[in-house]
Structure 1
Amino acid sequence: MFGRADREAERLERALEGGPIPHDLETRRAMAAAGALAPGHTRSPERIQQTHDAMMAAFMRTLNPLATRDDAGSDDGLEDVSLHREEIALPGGGELVVSDIEEITPDRLQNLAAAMAEVIQRREKDPKP
């Protein structure tokens, strides 16, 4: 009796290790049970390492923040930004003030004025609640 159980256990072990699958019903049932107990997916060691590295990098950034300079932002030319400003009259009364850090061209002004005049005209047609 023990010899038979040992033989069946050996066949099952060989089958589970990738060896030939036995055709007897008991071993097939045991393999099905083992398959049902196996996890449906496995975690990739590379993904585990990437996650660990990302967590440690975030932790180290929290512990050691970047040093700030006392003179940061000075002499870089950004503190004296010149704004371009244009005022134009809209048809039907009204005034449009356009400000930008880039130069405002006459074509751009005309397009903006036309767009704003269209918006104002649509609002006049809408019924007021």
Structure 2
Amino acid sequence: MDPEITALASTAGTTLVTLMATDAWERTRDAVTSLWRRVHPGRADMVSGELEATREELLASEPDGDPDARQELQAEWQGRIRRLLVARPDAAEELRALLRDIDTGDAAGPAVTQHATASGNARVYQAGRDQRIEERGGEA
């Protein structure tokens, strides 16, 4: 197995699932579906549906704090993308370009920077997305 294809598929699968829970999702989904439409036109609509189903599964698993769900979904997409690249190695450069666009923020929008200062007994809670805080009083 070509290690370059495996590495690219791994990066793409992880990035894809990560973006499912962001504002960049629709643009990312459309870009991935377009890639499939050019490489395997007959499967593009099915892949688009699978992307949406994966997103729904990911979002449903997050409130429960299921740590394995994200990794399992990433592995599924890594496998799908790897099989696509094995069948059509010429799609690798287009996939790299898609990932570069996402990396530069073209698909994700502007970067968010957070700064906080706390002193004394103050607490600072920051999150780039959902945050759940449970404080239990009286525990030793």
Class of the TM-score when normalised by the shorter of the 2 chains: under 0.3
Structure of higher CA gyration radius: 1
Q: Which has the higher strand share?
A: 1
Asked which structure has the greater RCO (Cα within 8 Å, sep 6+), the reply is 2
TM-score, structure 1 normalization: 0.24
TM-score by length of 2: 0.23
